[in-house]
Amino acid sequence: MTKKIVVTGIGATTPLGGTATESWNALLAGESGARSLEHSWVEEHSLPVTFAAEAKVRPEEVLERVEYKRLDPSSQFALISAREAWADAGSPDIDPVRIGVDYSTGIGGLWTLLDAWDTLREKGPRRVLPMTIPMLMPNAAAAAISMAIPSRAYARTDVSACASSTEAIANAYAHLQAGLADVVIAGGTEAVVHPLPIAAFASMQALSKRNDDPATASRPYDVSRDGFVLGEGAATLVLETEEHALARGARIYAELAGGAVTSDSFHITAPDPEGTAAARAVRDALEAAGATPEQVTHINAHATSTPVGDIAEYKALLRIFGDHLPNIPVSATKGATGHLLGGTGALEAIFTVLALHHRTAPPTINLTDQDPEIPLDVVTSPRDLGSGPQLAISNSFGFGGHNAVAAFRSV
């Protein structure tokens, strides 16, 4: 029998705010998290892109010094957001063997890796920190969370580029259905605002180069969009079976109604221009939710602000929703947050959950001249979703042809 899975806790540290609530409020206010970078390495390396969406609250302001020193920034963000989500869920007293962790990253401990390489070259092997490997490994965030909560059912790491944390949510749904845990901490993190990724993404023409106006650089669906804005941070959801949540008197934000993962098998970076496999991920998520396309009332789109990606996603949506697509309010929240890579799906899942919880679709900022090839109903100011039943999807697509979709239902 299919179990009902619900969201009972949320946490985030993002370019918009140090908590999920602060980030949501800033999103509704139309704020941008993109800012010029004030680091010496920008000029030192003559970077062609001089801005990004850095986390608004720095980890050293939140964590104890010993934690901060023993964790890569990606794990620091993850731990901060997971603790917030766990507290938001009521810090439930649960047998650790019934708590699981499905966490993700697109790249992992990049700062640790590259700092250690610099140390090796400049100072020799004896100066490389003994904690380097535990700090740089991609599963470090999941491990840190599992030890902090604690959770002993399992701690798994999803690494599927920018689809990673939505895939983690889909996997958490499956693991709860399979009875591997009663509660799962799911989400994603990324911390790669570093000269090397900026140079590499810029070299492949993926980043916006609006150095003169960072706040308006991320422009989903706009005819003048020229690439994404690199972001950082983490987002976490506490998921559990409805039976378990009700038994402990938990507050429920929304239902995680289904999730799905597919692969393009098309190109290492470019999406399938026809959106075939992405469409199948949407269809499969709706089937898992026992829903039809006509029941969908809101979409949080992947919408990175790249010329090719935004159109490919539109074509995927058109395949599923057809004539119903113009009736669905679409939010593209990367306009405000930038692109958190492996953490972006979890953050957008939280925005989707809060949209249903507050019956308000968040705005897409910086859209001044909508691309006529993408005739969606894009939300540009907070919009009331109404009092009736709501069903929303959150899309994530990543390099390598990874597609992941999560479906949420109002309660």
Instruction: Give the 3-state secondary structure percentages of the chain, helix then strand then coil, rounded to 5.
Output: 40, 20, 40
Tell me the DSSP string of 106-142: SS-SHHHHHHHHHHHHHH-GGGS-TTHHHHHSTTHHH
Strand pairing of 391-398 and 183-190? unpaired
- Token pair belonging to 407: 């479906």
- Token pair belonging to 392: 């929303």
What CA–CA distance (Å, rounded) separates 339 from 1?
37
DSSP one-letter code for 336: H
Catalytic residue, from 175, 298, 302, 402: name it: 302
302 is catalytic: yes
Residues 6+ apart with CB under 8 A from 255: 4, 5, 6, 7, 242, 408, 409, 410, 411
Order of strands, sheet of 391-398, starting from the edge strand that comes earlier in the sequence: 154-158, 99-105, 183-190, 233-241, 5-13, 254-263, 402-409, 391-398, 298-300, 329-331, 377-378
The helices-and-strands tally (H runs, E runs) of the chain is: 14, 15
Burial of 381 per CB tally in 10 Å (0-12, 13-18, 19+):
exposed
In angstroms, how far apart are the furthest CA atoms of the chain?
64
- Token pair belonging to 283: 């269809």
357 is catalytic: no
Catalytic residue, from 162, 175, 194, 244: name it: 162
Catalytic residue, from 298, 339, 357, 402: name it: 339
39 is catalytic: no
- Is-contact 33 336, C-beta < 8 A? yes
> Tokens 């890796």 belong to which residue?
113
Write the single-letter amino acid at 260.
Answer: A
- Is-contact 19 81, C-beta < 8 A? no
- Is-contact 259 166, C-beta < 8 A? yes
Strand pairing of 391-398 and 298-300? parallel
Q: Could you list the active site residues?
A: 162, 302, 339
